[in-house]
Amino acid sequence: MQEEIIAIDTEMINLAQLLKLATIVETGGQAKFLIGEGKVSVNGEKENRVRRKLYPGDIVEIDEQIIIKLTRE
């Protein structure tokens, strides 16, 4: 497992934006595909909403191999 910590300077960020920020995907379309395929989970639960709101403290897991922890800048 690879862990990454990503800091945001806003109150919240949506899932697709986070995937782009973490350079997991390049476009929103790719994010939508990845999430639609059930490869992304938030705080241990599978997430299928592309615009799921995320707040500092949330943990996102991608394809059982990359973990992103969200913090506030």
Partner 1 sequence: MFLNKIFLKSFRNYAAQEIAFREGINIFYGENAQGKTNLLEAIYLLSLGRPYRVQRDQDLVKWEEAGFLVKGIAEKDKRTLIIEVSFTLGGKKAIKINGLEQKKLRALLGLLNVVIFSPTDLQLIQGSPGERRRFLDLEISQVNPQYGHYLHQYGRVLQQRNNLLRELRERKKNLDLLVVWDTQLIDWGSKIIKKRLDSMKKLSILAKLMHRKITSHKETLELKYLSSCRNLEEKIAQGEEIEHIFKQNLEKIKEEEIHRGMTMIGPHRDDFSSFINGINVKTFGSQGQQRTAVLSLKLAELEFMKAETGEYPLLLLDDVMSELDQERREHLLKVVRQRIQTFITTTDLEDFPQEFLTEASLYQISKGQISGVKGCIL
Residues that bind partner 1 (CB under 8 A): 2, 24-25, 27, 29-30, 33-34, 37, 39, 62-63, 65-66
Token readout for 72 is: 């506030």
| Other CB atoms within 10 Å distance of the CB of residue 12 | 13
Task: Please give the Cα distance from 57 to 37 (Å, whole number).
Answer: 24
Give the residue with the Cβ less far from partner 1, 34 or 70: 34
Query: Which DSSP state fits 58?
Result: -
Could you tell me the smallest distance in angstroms from the CB atom of residue 39 to partner 1? 7
Give the residue with the Cβ less far from partner 1, 9 or 65: 65
